[in-house]
Amino acid sequence: MAAFAGTPSGDLANNGITTDAQIYWNLNNLDLIDLAVERDEGFLTTHNALVTETGERTGRSPNDKFIVAEDSTFKDVNWGDVNVSTDVSTFERLKVQVINYLSTQDALFVQDLYCGAEESESLPIRVITQNAWHNAFARNMFVRPTVEQLKSHMPQFTVYHAPHFEANDAQLNSQCFVIVNYAAGEVIIGGTRYAGEIKKSIFSVMNLILTKKGILPMHCSANTTGENTAIFFGLSGTGKTTLSADPNRALIGDDEHGWGSNGVFNFEGGCYAKLINLSPEDEPEIFATTEMKGTVLENIVVDEEGVPDFFDVSKTQNTRGSYPIEFIENRTMDSKGGHPQNVIFLTCDAFGILPPISRLTPSQAAYHFISGYTAKVAGTEIGVTEPEATFSACFGEPFMPMHPGVYADLLSEKMAEHGATAWLINTGWSGGPYGIGSRMKIRYTRAMLNAALDGELDNVHYVVDGRFGFEIPTACPNVPSEILIPRLTWEDKEQYDATADNLASMFQRNFERYSEGVSDDVNAAGPSL
Catalytic residues: 60, 200, 219, 236, 240-241, 255, 320
- Let me know: does 508 contact 515? Beta carbons within 8 Å: no
Query: How far is Cα 365 from Cα 342, in angstroms, rounded to an integer?
Result: 11
DSSP SS3 for 133: helix
Query: How far is Cα 138 from Cα 155, in angstroms, rounded to an integer?
Result: 15
DSSP SS3 for 271: strand
CB atoms under 10 Å from CB of 87, counted, come to 13
Alpha helices in 104-225 (DSSP H): 132-141, 147-151, 196-209
- Let me know: does 325 contact 270? Beta carbons within 8 Å: yes
- The helix (H) or strand (E) run that includes residue 91 is helix 88-103
Query: How far is Cα 140 from Cα 233, in angstroms, rounded to an integer?
Result: 22
Q: Which amino acid is at 18?
A: T
Query: How far is Cα 324 from Cα 166, in angstroms, rounded to an integer?
Result: 30
Q: What is the DSSP letter of 295?
A: B
Query: How far is Cα 234 from Cα 221, in angstroms, rounded to an integer?
Result: 8
Query: How far is Cα 485 from Cα 479, in angstroms, rounded to an integer?
Result: 12
Query: How far is Cα 320 from Cα 133, in angstroms, rounded to an integer?
Result: 14
- Which residues share a beta bridge with 190? 162, 177
DSSP assignment of 190-221 equals: ES---THHHHHHHHHHHHHHTGGGT-EEEEEE
Q: At residue 336, what are phi and psi to the nearest 5 degrees?
A: -135, 160
Query: How far is Cα 121 from Cα 124, in angstroms, rounded to an integer?
Result: 10
Angle between helices 362-371 and 404-418 (to 10 degrees): 150
Query: How far is Cα 222 from Cα 242, in angstroms, rounded to an integer?
Result: 11
Alpha helices in 376-490 (DSSP H): 404-418, 442-453, 486-489
